[in-house]
């Protein structure tokens, strides 16, 4: 069964929009291997992988390979899909190679002997084969030489999950690309074609899990775990399963009260425990490979164990016990802080909250609980330090939460490629086990030898024609997947590959878009909130500048600017946040002269006349940064305009329109922030540029 084809859907297939390969020599070279597709396993997963391959080859090479399910390798030419243990493959795959292929990995081997011409794609399980197929298809599209196709690929992180913040009314919390593809008007949509195409996109970047509902579980969404919805959900799970992706659900911790009619959701209450066990049993009777629960507890008005005087370990472990017999997991979010702070209270520091809440619980979580931690201690700002929880919990499974959707990074109106930021975060050395204790080694599970570890990415897709609103924001989804598979890859390579697969390999196209992507985050940062300042956005929707939008609110996100200085002293002399890091970071962050400049205002309260490393005063840096940033948007526009005629007109115009909006809004940022600082300080711009008094 194939769920979809890329022929003429009403929406783009992003990087999976296949086009005939034009380079004749390459086509001729590969064609020799394409007479057959041989499936050495008879099941729907191999069949689906074979269909995917056949469909791709017919577009790329114009061939119609015969698709055979065969127990014997009786043909002497073709692409052969099998398990590494299949007896027909033993002559071609060595024991060492077999060993090297992991549960979700695959091997590709090109056999070019006199009479035999095979491209073998083999995996250990049903899961690996679909990843192998997409890998091969994309390698063909990149015109990879035959001898360079040979590889053994294994995902580095065990859990590679997309989190949707989709609500059942069809809205998407922090969604900037249309409505939910899963829900509408309080119901589960039955538009399986689109979900199938989404599963294809996700499988092609190595994703193996998807949470389809918002972590804020309210109203009807509370009932998703009941038979009322499980039938429809089982169909969605089936579609994802075909592509190696497990379905997960966000739950409301107080469900035993809402659904079960109990008078408590106390995790230590026997009736509550039983209620969850029964519920889990029912879920698995509909979805036998259900992934598990994602839980936002005691966070932003969501109920949790604190209500009953219990710990987060008590809460998570109770759910974990119910899921354990089915190999399900509990993904427990660490986004716990006081969202009712008094702005007058300068002692409480929201940045410290996740660590303070969870560090004492290290070692107390069950084996199938994973703590999902946002990359920074606050909330997906354009720049934050790495959360000190990474590296602080040696005995706890940990996942990195990235926000693919651009809540604080331009809401898919501004171009802001996040791969560069994510890569920096993953490369951060926590020093928790001495030098070389990189975040990427914590979240791939290798540093502490954890079975469960990985990545969660908050989805940036919706039902819009190009999935992501801004066409170039597709690169963020692609990059997230690619980094979860291999966080060691160079970000430029990941981005370049996306450009070629999406727009073709014209030199100018690749060069210009690569420049745009790689520089876009730095540009956005320059004209919004540089030096780790963060926030300064309009409350609620979080778009556009508002320097004191959150200054006198309950949310704990203050910069406390006055006429002399700005920033919060989070050093050991201030709120003590720096003490949550290992050495040498404690000392580095503590010292205003050693602190990485891009995080200066996150860690320090800095007078406006403080001199930065380049000799500029803080205030002058602020002005320069905003003028430069807004101006650099012109360069983005220029680079894009040079591609007119080389990019599909519709896409060209759509992106162009967004870039023009970005320019206008960057100017707004520049002027509002510069004016704010000028009014606070009365210090003029040394260069005499226009600042509105």
97 is known as an active-site residue: no
- CB closer to ligand GCV out of 407 and 590: 407
Q: For the CB of residue 567, give the shortest distance to ligand GCV in the complex, in Å.
A: 22
Q: What angle do CA 220, 222, 223 make, to 5 degrees?
A: 70
Q: For the CB of residue 469, give the shortest distance to ligand GCV in the complex, in Å.
A: 17
- CB closer to ligand GCV out of 211 and 242: 211
**Distance (Å, whole) CA 322 – CA 273:** 8
- CB closer to ligand GCV out of 300 and 664: 300
- CB closer to ligand GCV out of 118 and 165: 165
126 is known as an active-site residue: no
Residue reference for tokens 């997947």? 481
Q: For the CB of residue 103, give the shortest distance to ligand GCV in the complex, in Å.
A: 30
Decide if residue 471 touches ligand GCV (CB under 6 A). Answer: no
- CB closer to ligand GCV out of 280 and 404: 404
Give the helix/strand (H/E) hosting 314: helix 312-323
* Residue closest to 627 by CA, chosen among 675, 693, 574, 660: 675
Decide if residue 173 touches ligand GCV (CB under 6 A). Answer: yes
Q: Both ends of the chain: CA-CA distance in Å?
A: 66
Decide if residue 511 touches ligand GCV (CB under 6 A). Answer: no
135-138 contact pairs (CB < 8 A, 24+): 135/106, 135/108, 136/53, 136/79, 136/108, 137/18, 137/52, 137/53, 137/56, 137/60, 137/204, 138/15, 138/204, 138/497, 138/501
**Tokens found for residue 50:** 């074979």
Which member of 197, 407, 429, 463 is catalytic? 407
Decide if residue 165 touches ligand GCV (CB under 6 A). Answer: yes
| Mask for 179-218, x = binds ligand GCV (CB under 6 A) | -----------------------------------xxx--
Residue reference for tokens 């994602």? 294
- CB closer to ligand GCV out of 322 and 418: 418
The beta strand positions in 48-188, using DSSP E, are: 66-69, 77-83, 106-112, 117-123, 151-153, 159-163, 183-184, 187-188
* Interacting residue with ligand GCV among 335, 585, 589, 640 (CB under 6 A): 335
Partner residues linked to 605 by β-bridges: none
Provide the 10 A C-beta neighbour count for residue 137. 21
Decide if residue 617 touches ligand GCV (CB under 6 A). Answer: no
- CB closer to ligand GCV out of 121 and 319: 319
Q: For the CB of residue 456, give the shortest distance to ligand GCV in the complex, in Å.
A: 10
Decide if residue 164 touches ligand GCV (CB under 6 A). Answer: no
Helices (H) and strands (E) in the chain, counts: 19, 18
Q: For the CB of residue 343, give the shortest distance to ligand GCV in the complex, in Å.
A: 17
Decide if residue 384 touches ligand GCV (CB under 6 A). Answer: no
Q: For the CB of residue 334, give the shortest distance to ligand GCV in the complex, in Å.
A: 10
> Are 524 and 629 spatial neighbours (Cβ–Cβ below 8 Å)?
yes
Q: For the CB of residue 407, give the shortest distance to ligand GCV in the complex, in Å.
A: 6
| Mask for 279-308, x = binds ligand GCV (CB under 6 A) | -----------------x---x--------
Q: What angle do CA 601, 604, 607 make, to 5 degrees?
A: 85
536 phi/psi in degrees, rounded to 5: 55, 25
Decide if residue 404 touches ligand GCV (CB under 6 A). Answer: no
Instruction: Enumerate residues 6+ apart whose C-beta is below 8 A from 571.
Output: 577, 578, 589, 590, 603, 604
* Interacting residue with ligand GCV among 41, 379, 444, 525 (CB under 6 A): 379
Q: For the CB of residue 174, give the shortest distance to ligand GCV in the complex, in Å.
A: 5
What letter does residue 205 receive in the DSSP assignment? T
> Are 291 and 329 spatial neighbours (Cβ–Cβ below 8 Å)?
yes
Decide if residue 174 touches ligand GCV (CB under 6 A). Answer: yes
- CB closer to ligand GCV out of 410 and 629: 410
In three-state secondary structure terms, 456 is strand
Decide if residue 350 touches ligand GCV (CB under 6 A). Answer: no
**Distance (Å, whole) CA 153 – CA 126:** 15
379 is known as an active-site residue: yes
**Distance (Å, whole) CA 235 – CA 240:** 9
- CB closer to ligand GCV out of 174 and 423: 174
Task: Count the residues of the shown chain that bind ligand GCV, applying the rule CB under 6 A.
Answer: 11
Which member of 197, 379, 471, 569 is catalytic? 379
Which member of 76, 300, 342, 597 is catalytic? 300
Residues carrying an active site annotation? 300, 379, 407
Q: Which residues in this chain contact ligand GCV in the complex, by CB under 6 A?
A: 165, 173-174, 214-216, 296, 300, 335, 379, 407
């Amino acid at each position: 069964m194939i769920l979809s084809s890329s022929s003429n859907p009403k929406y783009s297939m992003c990087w999976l929009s296949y086009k005939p390969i034009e380079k004749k020599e390459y086509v001729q070279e590969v064609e020799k291997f394409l007479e057959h597709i041989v499936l050495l396993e008879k099941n729907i997963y191999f069949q689906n992988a074979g269909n995917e391959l056949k469909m791709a080859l017919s577009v790329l090479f114009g061939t119609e390979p015969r698709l055979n399910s065969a127990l014997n390798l009786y043909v002497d030419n073709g692409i052969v899909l099998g398990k590494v243990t299949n007896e027909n493959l033993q002559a071609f795959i060595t024991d060492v190679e077999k060993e090297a292929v992991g549960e979700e990995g695959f091997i590709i081997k090109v056999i070019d002997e006199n009479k035999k011409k095979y491209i073998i794609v083999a995996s250990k399980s049903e899961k690996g084969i679909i990843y192998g197929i997409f890998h091969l298809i994309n390698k063909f599209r990149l015109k990879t030489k035959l001898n360079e196709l040979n590889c053994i690929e294994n995902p580095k992180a065990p859990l590679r999950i997309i989190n949707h913040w989709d609500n059942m009314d069809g809205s998407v919390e922090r969604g900037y690309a249309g409505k939910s593809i899963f829900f509408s008007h309080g119901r589960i949509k039955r538009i399986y074609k689109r979900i199938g195409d989404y599963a294809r996109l996700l499988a092609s970047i190595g994703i193996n899990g998807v949470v389809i509902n918002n972590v804020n579980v309210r109203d009807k969404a509370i009932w998703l775990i009941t038979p009322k919805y499980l039938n429809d959900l089982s169909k969605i799970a089936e579609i994802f399963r075909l592509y190696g992706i497990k379905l997960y659900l966000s739950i409301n911790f107080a469900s035993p009260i809402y659904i079960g009619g109990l008078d408590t959701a106390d995790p230590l209450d026997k009736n509550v425990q039983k209620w969850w066990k029964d519920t889990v049993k029912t879920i698995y009777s509909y979805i036998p490979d259900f992934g598990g629960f994602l839980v936002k507890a005691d966070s932003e008005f969501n109920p949790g164990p604190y209500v009953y005087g219990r710990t987060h370990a008590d809460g998570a472990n109770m759910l974990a016990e119910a899921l354990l017999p089915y190999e399900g997991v509990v993904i427990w979010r660490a986004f716990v802080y006081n969202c009712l702070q008094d702005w007058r209270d300068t002692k409480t520091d929201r940045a410290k909250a996740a660590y303070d809440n969870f560090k004492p619980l290290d070692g107390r979580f069950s084996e199938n609980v994973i703590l999902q931690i946002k990359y920074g201690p606050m909330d997906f700002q354009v720049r934050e330090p790495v959360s000190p929880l990474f590296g602080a919990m040696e005995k706890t499974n940990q996942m990195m939460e990235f926000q693919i959707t651009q809540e604080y990074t331009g809401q898919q109106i501004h171009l802001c490629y996040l791969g560069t930021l994510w890569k920096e975060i993953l490369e951060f050395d926590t020093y928790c086990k001495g030098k070389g204790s990189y975040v990427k080694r914590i979240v791939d599970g290798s540093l502490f030898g954890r079975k469960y570890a990985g990545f969660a990415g908050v989805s940036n897709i919706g039902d819009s024609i190009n999935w992501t609103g801004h066409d170039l924001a597709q690169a963020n989804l692609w990059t997230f997947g690619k980094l979860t598979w291999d966080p060691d890859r160079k970000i430029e390579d990941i981005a370049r590959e996306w450009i070629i697969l999406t727009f073709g390999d014209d030199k100018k196209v690749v060069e210009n878009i690569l420049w745009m992507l790689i520089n876009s985050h730095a540009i956005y940062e320059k004209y919004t909130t540089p030096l780790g300042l963060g926030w300064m956005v309009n409350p609620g929707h979080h778009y556009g500048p508002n320097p004191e939008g959150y200054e006198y609110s309950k949310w704990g996100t203050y910069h406390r600017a006055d006429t002399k200085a700005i920033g919060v002293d989070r050093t050991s002399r201030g709120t003590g946040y720096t003490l949550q890091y290992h050495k040498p970071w404690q000392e580095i962050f503590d010292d205003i002269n050693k602190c990485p400049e891009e995080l200066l205002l996150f860690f320090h309260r800095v007078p406006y006349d403080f001199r930065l490393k380049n000799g500029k005063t803080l205030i002058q840096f602020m002005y320069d940064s905003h003028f430069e940033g807004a101006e650099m948007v012109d360069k983005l526009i220029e680079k894009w305009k040079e591609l007119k005629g080389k990019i599909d007109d519709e896409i060209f115009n759509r992106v162009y329109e967004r870039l023009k909006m970005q320019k206008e809004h960057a100017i707004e940022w520049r002027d509002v922030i510069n004016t704010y600082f000028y009014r606070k300080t009365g210090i003029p711009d040394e260069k005499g540029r226009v600042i509105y008094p």
